Amino acid sequence: MRLIVLSVLFASCYAHPKHGRKFPDDFLFGTATASYQVEGAWNADGKGENIWDHMTHTMPEVIADQSNGDEAADSYHNYKRDVEIMRELGLDAYRFSLSWSRILPNGQANIVNQAGVDYYNNFINEMLKYNITPLVTLYHWDLPQKLQDLGGFVSPLFPEWFEDYARVVFENFGDRVKHWITFNEPREICYEGYGSITKAPRLNATDVGTYLCAKQLVIANARAYHLYDKEFRPIQNGKCGITISVNWFGPLTDSEEDQSAAEIKRQAEWGIYAEPIFSEQGGFPKELSEIVERNSKEQGYPRSRMPEFTDEERDLVRGSTDFFGVNHYTASLVSANEEYKEWHPTPSLLSDADVGGYVPPEWPKSASKWLKLAPNSIYNVLTHLKSKYNNPILYITENGWSTTPESGLEDEDRITYYRAALNSVLDALEAGVNLKGYMAWSLIDNFEWMEGYLERFGLYQVDFESPEKTRTPRKSAFIYKEIIRSRVIEPNYEPPSRTMWIDEGH
């Protein structure tokens, strides 16, 4: 049995990137944020309560530093400064999300909060003034609490609620927004929020929560997509896709057992959301479905814990996207060997998958325990998706690196990560991957979910203690700006002094 040791290639992969390679002129370089993480103004101007407001206010102890997003970076009042930062970086595009409860305070479309609509109109118009393309996500984890009280994503009415919300959004912003993303990271919504306790609403229905949520989510995506396709695309001429978190899961060895384990891991992590939309047959992944059905029978359930799609639902969902948004950060190696397996609740998604993972200790570590710099992981993911789903249009909608609050402005490890990631992107482009853009996570420091403010992903540091939430560029911002300007990754590039950096007129 041959051990696949990717890490031994680590130094050679990243120390000597290929020279003379350029990104296409029409390749979109941008950054990304999410509404709850940066906006603040949690109850300002008619905004309703969302599930993160509710959780952080009623159970502050579940956040590592007991903080919340009540103020965050206060982008609600600082959006012009954020656009100025985009100009400083020379961004082609900016991906951000809408707060459902800022637009529809109780989640339902009968009451539209005009102040919320005005905020996003002003923000979008400010970007377009400087030729920055908005990529707008309808849902990035902050469900209105009123809808959660009615069942949230496991309610069969959820697709209807989401379609109603999408209609309000398309009507108000679709004349200017041409890139729509329905959902950000279904895995984190469904597995972490409904099948575990690591994201709001912490439902922890380990047996069925992930699967019930997954089905309603992809149906909701389909309803919003077809709404746009039939009623709005003929007039607005935009695109509508979905973003899925796709980290790389490769086999630890070249054994047939580890190859099979890696495939099951990919199905459990992201295939249950991608397969219904992108595969020719539709529905949940075949192998994982069979495992869950078998386990359910053995566990005494009268039917599979993974719901089936009707033929009508399968047809509705299949192909309901114009592009595949990929959030990618890291990788791990997967094995069927018992020595690598960890304990998981039974029944649950992870106990159904029943595989083990291994991360080589020499892979560089970030401030986030889950995030390591894995060699060639972007290339592996993108070429895998190219092969599996007939070369779909792809965007990297998130990719980034975390540091601690004490790390300051000289973030050499983040620079190393971005240069490695973007060299991997160039490798994928050379391999014929149909990749149209790359959004770095994140524009500015933000509320990092369950870790609060203990992890920082921003190209710009935010002083959360200052009334103005002052934004200051890190060294990585200088490097990213030069990559965008030159369309080249120069490993030896050193930026000018900070005082000379801001473009004239900014």
Beta strands in 279-402 (DSSP E): 324-327, 331-335, 356-358, 394-398
Q: Is the separation of the CB atoms in 324 and 394 below 8 Å?
A: yes
Query: Both tokens of residue 198?
Result: 């690591």
Identify the H or E element spanning 224: helix 209-227
3-class secondary structure per residue, 398-444: ECCCCECHHHCCCCHHHHHHHHHHHHHHHHHHHCCCCEEEEEEECCE
Task: Please tell me the distance from the alpha carbon of residue 70 to that of residue 79, in angstroms, as a whole number.
Answer: 16
Q: Is the separation of the CB atoms in 285 and 275 below 8 Å?
A: yes
Alpha carbon 409 to chain centroid distance? 25
Q: Is the separation of the CB atoms in 399 and 417 below 8 Å?
A: no
Q: Which of 185, 313, 455, 482 is catalytic?
A: 185
Give the residue among 220, 239, 391, 228 at the shortest CA–CA distance from 316: 220
Query: Both tokens of residue 401?
Result: 């690196």
Query: Both tokens of residue 195?
Result: 């099948």
Tell me, yes or no, if 448 is annotated catalytic.
Answer: no
Task: Please tell me the distance from the alpha carbon of residue 237 to that of residue 232, in angstroms, as a whole number.
Answer: 8
Pairing of strands 356-358, 331-335: antiparallel
Phi, psi for residue 484 in degrees, rounded to 5: -65, -45
Q: Which of 49, 263, 398, 455 is catalytic?
A: 398
Strand partners of residue 208: none
Query: Both tokens of residue 103?
Result: 């637009």
Q: What angle do CA 124, 116, 67 make, to 5 degrees?
A: 100
The position carrying tokens 């580890």 is 258
Q: What angle do CA 70, 71, 74 make, to 5 degrees?
A: 140
Tell me, yes or no, if 313 is annotated catalytic.
Answer: no
Amino acid, single-letter form, for residue 344: H
Work out the number of other CB atoms within 10 angstroms of the CB of residue 81. Answer: 18
Residues 6 or more apart in contact with residue 20 via CB below 8 angstroms: none
Query: Both tokens of residue 473?
Result: 């560029």
Task: Please tell me the distance from the alpha carbon of residue 443 to that of residue 193, in angstroms, as a whole number.
Answer: 25
Catalytic residue ranges: 185, 398
